[in-house]
Chain A
């Protein structure tokens, strides 16, 4: 049995430092957040998948860890673990982090395609882990949902709030549930739009036009899916389906086909639309 986090962290939340950050995950999500953190005066370090390290060096001046073996060489105040679609990489990453980090370092992990409870099941200290959900693309995030698990300690939540406020991102507390509120809903919307397209109910431009004009959606659902990344939409749908075992979360075959063929959206140059 591990020691409750709030006993280890016998401090008032405002005294927890949030300066030295470790951001772990794929480069496209990690860099924008690192930029924002850096601009706010924090010191970010990046832990990237091995195959991305080379190209990341060309893109950013932030410090990049050579490998997960070196996590323990530094003292970090706060860790953000940002793997989204690759749940295996996520589990590995959390395992390494837990092993290498000091016991009092809070870990914030993306829980868009999996529940926090599933994710922390095999960890020794689930108290220090908090789920976060944010709607990609990361560089335009205005709000992050914080998902406290059954065991998450209060100081971890407070630290997370303070960190996101410091980089000008609002926070809302929601219960532990894959994708929180926004990501879950928007992905279901995109998934349904994909089904309407697959059934040839209307053309893609008409689908997007109808929803932008007829309802107050800030984006047409298909264009929105391309921006978020269709691989992520698929991962969220699969996560919801695995968690709820309900038909409403069936991933649309057209969406899967696009993802399998590499047409994952804006960054790939093609999704529902061509770029």
Chain B
């Protein structure tokens, strides 16, 4: 996720510092980005700079000091609350306000992260959809502590990197995951109850105008990720039955059939 964000920011003219604590990641990142740059030039709706220039705009580093004086920090580390809080607290001094802190978390509480920083009014969420460089949407997540000016600035910047934004109050699942839940969840229930088999269900949705059926989509996202997403909404809502995950998903994860990435989910993916 981090490389995709760095890439699209650089391609739209920003000077980017790409920080990762792990040297291996930092070594591999330029290659990964180079590979994706050309593809995004083809796909983008805003004019993008050529690959070489864009890549030159990114400084890769394992030193947090190199991030000093950044105007916008977009954090996309592993989805662990402690890690995110620790990173922002280390940056609190190095990047004083009016610098803005945005977390790219897809399911953690932005409010919890913000409240642990020294200036919570400058913290918000920027929820990029996968693949971050190409998907048009960014959810801007506002906490009770976020300043309006922070939201406006982030919205403006997201527009400059070619994203459409929606403003969402920090809440379980934000908008996209929360509303993916009934779609994927009811499809799972229909399968579990024997209303129809998964390929029939997918075909029904495709005929109704969906690009993919729900089971294709789950295989694509990864069943572990779908389950984690669903689980986090359920937990955050004090286990409201409305959001209860389906046991079928858990069984498939236990079996190691996680979707496309593991060669088998609801469908089989030979030689991938």
Give A residues with C-beta under 8 Å from B.
135, 142-143, 145, 170, 172-175, 177, 180-182, 184-186, 188-189, 191-193, 196, 199-203, 206-207, 209-211, 213-219, 221, 246-248, 250
Contact = CB atoms under 8 A, between A and B. Distances in A.
Interface stretch (B17-25, B53-61, B78-86, B203-211): B203-211
17 contacts: A135-B208, A172-B203, A184-B190, A185-B186, A199-B171, A201-B175, A202-B167, A210-B168, A213-B129, A213-B135, A214-B135, A216-B217, A217-B210, A246-B241, A247-B241, A248-B241, A248-B244
A199 B136 CA distance: 25
A213 B121 CA distance: 28
Contact of A210 (B139, B187, B200, B205): B139
Contacts of B241: 246-248
Contact of B240 (A145, A173, A193, A247): A247
A56 B180 CA distance: 40
B204 A182 contact: yes
List the 3 shortest-distance A-B pairs measured between CB atoms, nearest first: A218-B209, A247-B241, A206-B166
A209 B168 CA distance: 12
Contact of A177 (B139, B166, B195): B195
Contact of A201 (B169, B181, B205, B207): B169
Contacts of B180: 215
Interface string B193-217: 1111000110111011111101001
B208 A174 contact: no
Contacts of A207: 166, 175, 179
B172 to A, nearest CB: 10
Interface of B: 129, 135-137, 139, 164, 166-169, 171, 174-176, 178-183, 185-187, 190, 193-196, 200-201, 203-205, 207-212, 214, 217, 240-244
A254 B243 CA distance: 19
B137 A142 contact: no
Contacts of B196: 172-175, 180-181
B181 to A, nearest CB: 7
A196 B176 contact: no
B97 to A, nearest CB: 26
A250 B183 contact: no
A142 to B, nearest CB: 5
Contacts, number: 138
Contacts of A184: 186, 190
A181 B210 CA distance: 14
A247 to B, nearest CB: 3
Contacts of A248: 182, 185, 241-244
B208 A213 contact: no
A206 B168 contact: yes
Nearest to A221: B179
Nearest to A205: B166
A193 B244 CA distance: 17
B181 A142 contact: no
A181 B189 CA distance: 9
A210 B166 contact: yes
Given A185-B187, A202-B175, 12 more contacts: A143-B204, A174-B200, A175-B193, A184-B186, A184-B190, A185-B182, A189-B182, A196-B178, A206-B168, A210-B168, A213-B129, A248-B185
Contacts of B209: 218-219
A172 B200 contact: yes
Contacts of B205: 182, 185
A215 B176 contact: yes
Contacts of A189: 179, 182-183, 186
B201 to A, nearest CB: 5
A216 B203 CA distance: 15
Contacts of A215: 176, 179-180, 183
A213 B137 CA distance: 6
B179 A142 contact: no
Contact of B204 (A172, A203, A213): A172
A193 B179 contact: yes
B182 A191 contact: yes
